[in-house]
Structure 1
Amino acid sequence: MQAGGLRLSNLSQEMKQRAIFLRPHDWLVGALRGNFWGPHRDDFVYTPITETLVQPELERRSAVSSSKPPIAEFKITGGNVRVYRTSADVPSEIWRQVLSGHSKDRRYYEIIEETLAGQFDHAYLVMRDIIGARLAVQPVFLAKQDILDGLPARLHALFAWPRRFFPNWLRMGMLVAGCSAGDGALDRKESWAIEMLIEALAVFARQSGASIILLKDFPSLYRDDLKALKTDGYRRIPSMPGCMIDFNFRTFEEYRKKVLGRNMRHKFNKIARMPPVSMEVVSDITPIATEIHALYMQTYARSKMRFECLTPEYFARLGREMPESVRFFLWRVDGRLAAFALCLVHDGTMHHLNIGFDYAVALDRHLYYTTVKDLFEWCLAQGLKRYYTGQLNYHPKLHLRMKLAPLDLYSRHTSALVNPLYKLALGFLQPVRHDPLIRQFPNAAEL
């Protein structure tokens, strides 16, 4: 997938006060022109952002004390909402508590906000109830999304032909709740917080000119908490799922013999006869961040679906600022860095976030399977109970006997009249529907 940013700075006061849905004929005319933003385009400017806006860390820390006021403030039924442009602008007594207890806590959101600043416009909805006794914070970001990404080539061609005349056809402006580099999470799950979030997203989407509201990649454990979205016009569809495996075995050898099939056992036997590949585990990779990023980019270039593109600063800062949970696994062949895995260790689970390979040696040396073996052995030695890995690359995960970890998308169009058609289209355009491999997993029905 490809994404761009919506600038927040040019919202007019008139637009901030506007509370109407787009008329259907306005949306249609805009679509034909490649403009899904609605009839009042002059109220803001969309700018594709390519420059990196990351401040040096010392400068960033010194800038925290000069926080700015909210970029928007509005009332909703249950209370009021303030929208902040950066995490540094959120009052520190509030920000310190955001997403505490999560593997990706507030520090992770600070890092992606600043290291992916050239790709998305992040913001934070701070929602208080009427008497100010209860508070919830939801990270959001604005993006321009190609909704045809992930479709098979034949279907993509079927729907994309109007782009010869209208280049922005079916590339839509979205207000996205969640994480721009990972699974979504809720700061508060209580019903009052969900009701405020639903209304706050609707108002802020109109203010920012987004046509689509999307809650991105929320784990299925949130389904009961988010069921109120359905009554507000949202449709839930499966996102590309993650994968996981419980460590119901004591050693990798036991797993190889009792869990894996014949072909996979043979593959690991073959790897065992090859020259060993050295592995090192560290937290801070700042001195080799450029090398790590180069391996990441090789893997990124081979991916069929793309969203965020991580930066060297992202990898360097994670290790420095989250050292208690971040682990980088480094594999070297003949002294040369050939593979890495970035993981978060939290609450008995290894969360495998990113991986990268030098494909000049990775395929011949079966480095993917080498990394799996080493990661599993490390987890077992540390007493961890579960391994969780991200989306895509399902073929080896299926044969490694992993299960799917369902992730959900909740979405609606801001136009009440266009939304029924949009929800119908979502059912057909969802990428999971067109990936037959996913249906072979034993728990595919959970999607």
Structure 2
Amino acid sequence: MLQTISESTLTRIRLPAKDNPLIQTRVVNSIREVGKQAWNACFEDEVEDFDCLLAIEEAGIEGFAWRYVTVVENGTVIAALPAFITGYQLETTLEEGPVRRFIRRMRGFFPGFLTLKLACLGSPCTETGKPGFCANVPSERQPELLARLIAGLEKHADNNGCSLRGVKDIPEPCASAFAPVFTQSGFASIPGLPTACLDIDFDSIESYLGCLSSGTRKDMRRKLKSFDRIRIETRTDLADLMPRVMALYNETRSRSEWQFEALTAGYFAGILDRMSGKSFCTLYFANEKLLAANILVHNETTVIDKFFCMDGEEGRAYDLYYLSWFANLRYCIDHRVARYQSGQAYYENKLRLGSRLTANTMYFKHRNKGVQWLLRLVSPLFGVDEPPGGAS
């Protein structure tokens, strides 16, 4: 259980000047150095576990160096978070417009303009950056251990010339519970993209439709007729279809306002291979032409829609976004999965279809206090605007 801590409580849990020799903070370059059992013990019931992070590590995603920060006590990993180092372009979260175009023009003359070397807790390829704690760690110890994870990242950042430090997508209620830890460590916060989830508290598509507004229900019934024109195939190995899937992915990515990491064929293949039994890809064909692909990962309670890529023109003609939504709901119903997590962005449709939003918070800190003051001043420009309907 998480509990919100006060500033006065935080004062009592400050790290000692000399570290306890029985507890150490470690930063390693491969999750293999932590071990599957040790890592997963800190992330029980999380879908994006050791196997997911190993697939990401091995995917050959350009521009990222992977790190794993752990707190080890008496030889046992009791707290953990993935991390990464990259060159971060500060306009990444800006919407397309005059400011972003100006920055791109300036970067034509000065390639490093508004690009800082970033060391960040969290992963660019997972849904959130929720800290992991071993099950036997009491909640009152978690702030201290998070402070150690942050301190470990900062020391590693100093040693690797990273002027900017960050923490990516801490979800509620963690962000509220641990806010004093980040404040004491000198981090400022900006809103991140919220996560959309739908509770599967219905036992059929028909009962789900009954929960929607009359206008949405009528629209969805019309769109569902497109199922008659589409062939759906589920695979755990893309093999010969990988080139077409990557073409769909790259087209979809080019339409996105926010672009950070560029996924690879190795990522898609690795997720399906490493997460065997916990992942699959749903493929959508019209007249034997592949028009969309949907990568999903899951455990017994949650399905996460990792990426949906689609031919922009032909896919819309067949309402494939909506067909994939209903195909995923059918999977959840058939397998008694309680939660469908459809990820970040495109909130208007997700809210219309009954999803709720969970807020995520990002944190940043520059080692130069003057630059940190300036970044705090301009940070509202780089935060993500709240989507329609807000986030809890």
Q: TM-score, normalised by structure 1?
A: 0.74
Match of 1:86 in 2: 30
C-alpha distance 270-430 of structure 1, shift in aligned 2 (>3 A): closer
Distance 2:115 2:82 in 1: 23
Q: Kindly indicate whether residue 253 of structure 2 is the aligned counterpart of residue 268 of structure 1.
A: no
Q: Kindly indicate whether residue 268 of structure 2 is the aligned counterpart of residue 315 of structure 1.
A: yes
Match of 2:110 in 1: 166
Which residues of 2 match residues 67-146 of structure 1 at below 5 A? 77=19, 79-90=23-34, 94=38, 97=41, 99-129=43-73, 135-146=78-89
CA contact (8 A) 1:264 1:399 kept: no
Match of 1:215 in 2: 167
Q: Kindly indicate whether residue 249 of structure 2 is the aligned counterpart of residue 306 of structure 1.
A: no
C-alpha distance 238-266 of structure 1, shift in aligned 2 (>3 A): same
CA contact (8 A) 2:27 2:152 kept: no
| Counterpart pick for 2:125 among 176, 181, 187 | 181
Distance 2:269 2:85 in 1: 25
1:380 Cα deviation after fit: 1.5
1:124 Cα deviation after fit: 1.9
Q: Secondary structure at the match of 1:361?
A: helix
CA contact (8 A) 2:236 2:281 kept: yes
Q: Name the aligned partner's letter for residue 287 of structure 2.
A: D
CA contact (8 A) 1:238 1:407 kept: yes
1:94-140 CA-partner distances (Å, limit 9, x unpaired)? 456453432111111111111134330112223335x6566433321
| Counterpart pick for 2:209 among 250, 253, 256 | 256
Q: Name the aligned partner's letter for residue 225 of structure 2.
A: A
Match of 2:200 in 1: 247
Distance 1:238 1:180 in 2: 16
Distance 1:109 1:133 in 2: 20
Aligned residues: 364
Q: Kindly indicate whether residue 110 of structure 2 is the aligned counterpart of residue 194 of structure 1.
A: no
Distance 2:91 2:326 in 1: 36
Distance 1:361 1:218 in 2: 37
C-alpha distance 284-420 of structure 1, shift in aligned 2 (>3 A): same
CA contact (8 A) 2:284 2:293 kept: yes
1:351 Cα deviation after fit: 0.8
State which drifts further: 248-257 or 173-182. 248-257
Q: Kindly indicate whether residue 244 of structure 2 is the aligned counterpart of residue 294 of structure 1.
A: no
Which residues of 2 match residues 382-393 of structure 1 at below 5 A? 382-393=335-346
Q: Secondary structure at the match of 1:259?
A: coil
CA contact (8 A) 1:136 1:187 kept: yes
CA contact (8 A) 1:277 1:331 kept: yes
Distance 1:274 1:245 in 2: 22
C-alpha distance 162-282 of structure 1, shift in aligned 2 (>3 A): closer
Q: Name the aligned partner's letter for residue 87 of structure 2.
A: K
Q: Name the aligned partner's letter for residue 91 of structure 2.
A: L
* Higher-RCO chain (CA-CA 8 Å, sequence separation at least 6): 2
Distance 1:340 1:348 in 2: 23
CA contact (8 A) 1:125 1:138 kept: yes
Q: Name the aligned partner's letter for residue 330 of structure 2.
A: E
CA contact (8 A) 2:357 2:391 kept: no
CA contact (8 A) 1:179 1:185 kept: no
1:143 Cα deviation after fit: 0.9
Structure 1 vs Structure 2 CA RMSD? 2.6
Q: Secondary structure at the match of 2:93?
A: coil
Match of 1:68 in 2: none
Distance 1:379 1:254 in 2: 14
1:46-90 CA-partner distances (Å, limit 9, x unpaired)? xxxxxxxxxxxxxxxxxxxxxxxxxxxxx9745433332222344
C-alpha distance 240-426 of structure 1, shift in aligned 2 (>3 A): same
1:181 Cα deviation after fit: 0.6
1:185 Cα deviation after fit: 3.0
Distance 2:24 2:158 in 1: 16
C-alpha distance 309-349 of structure 1, shift in aligned 2 (>3 A): same
1:367 Cα deviation after fit: 1.0
Q: Secondary structure at the match of 2:315?
A: coil
Distance 1:412 1:144 in 2: 15
CA contact (8 A) 2:230 2:286 kept: yes
Q: Kindly indicate whether residue 206 of structure 2 is the aligned counterpart of residue 206 of structure 1.
A: no
1:169-224 CA-partner distances (Å, limit 9, x unpaired)? 21111101111212223222722311211211221111111111111122223224
Q: Kindly indicate whether residue 355 of structure 2 is the aligned counterpart of residue 412 of structure 1.
A: no
Q: Kindly indicate whether residue 279 of structure 2 is the aligned counterpart of residue 344 of structure 1.
A: no
Match of 2:91 in 1: 148
1:258 Cα deviation after fit: 3.3
CA contact (8 A) 2:61 2:261 kept: no
- Gaps (5+ residues) in structure 2? 1-16, 134-138
Distance 1:363 1:81 in 2: 49
C-alpha distance 250-128 of structure 1, shift in aligned 2 (>3 A): closer
